[in-house]
Amino acid sequence: MINTVRKYKKKLRTRSKIKGSQRPRLSIFRSNRFAYAQIIDAEGKSTIVSATEKELGKVEIKGKVEKAKALGLLLAKKALAKKIKEVVFDRGNYAYHGRVSAIAAGAREGGLKF
């Protein structure tokens, strides 16, 4: 219970720093098995683009970090197809390390600007 409250407060603290931006928000979620990323409009009402590691299929990528980078590239490709070039990165309550930074690196490499 206490851990859940702590995570929620951290998430709100992160979100408050990016609130008010007119750019869409790149929000991520990671579970033990998969990572998910979505681009949400500036008002926070609807998802514009989303991608999951499940969409990568049976690609020969070893390791979670490499899959996360491929996820960032996939999301950037989808976003550029919808003419979204600039986003705000919302890491939620996760530290900017490992899979989270790999998603960001892949999205930057794919052409998104943070």
What's the pLDDT band for 59 if we cut at 50, 70, 90? confident
Instruction: List strand residue ranges (DSSP E) for 1-114, in order.
Output: 25-30, 35-40, 47-52, 88-90
What domain range includes position 7? 2-110
CB 26 within 8 A of CB 49: no
Rounded average pLDDT over 9-24: 86
What's the pLDDT band for 84 if we cut at 50, 70, 90? very high
CATH code at 71? 3.30.420.100
**Cα 74 to Cα 8: distance, rounded to the nearest angstrom:** 28
CB 68 within 8 A of CB 50: no
Rounded average pLDDT over 41-49: 89
Query: How many domains does the chain fold into?
Result: 1
